[in-house]
Amino acid sequence: MYENVRKRINTQYGSINKLAKIIGVEACDLYAGFKGTKTLYPRYKRLIAEALNEDACDLFGEVQP
């Protein structure tokens, strides 16, 4: 669902699992969010964007609450 974001995570951190540990969320939630089987919460999007040194709106292409 968020293929470009996932590619950036893999480039910068090696895996979603490693990023999840760094930002303090469950890896299964991120994997499910990227797959589209679970909602990728706005808080998670903000944490991912901060870890990638990006603005969440720019990175995910939507306005964050």
Residue with tokens 């760094």: 22
Q: What is the reported pTM?
A: 0.88
| Closest CA relative to residue 5, chosen from 54, 65, 63, 64 | 54
Residue with tokens 């969010």: 33
Q: Which structure tokens are listed for 42? A: 């706005």
Model pLDDT for residues 28-63, shown as the tens digit of each residue: 999 999 998 998 899 999 999 999 999 999 888 865
Q: Is the pLDDT of residue 65 over 80?
A: no
Q: Is the pLDDT of residue 64 over 80?
A: no
What per-residue confidence (pLDDT) applies to 30? 94
User: Residue 23 in 3-state DSSP?
Assistant: helix
Q: Which structure tokens are listed for 16? A: 């979603």
What per-residue confidence (pLDDT) applies to 63? 52
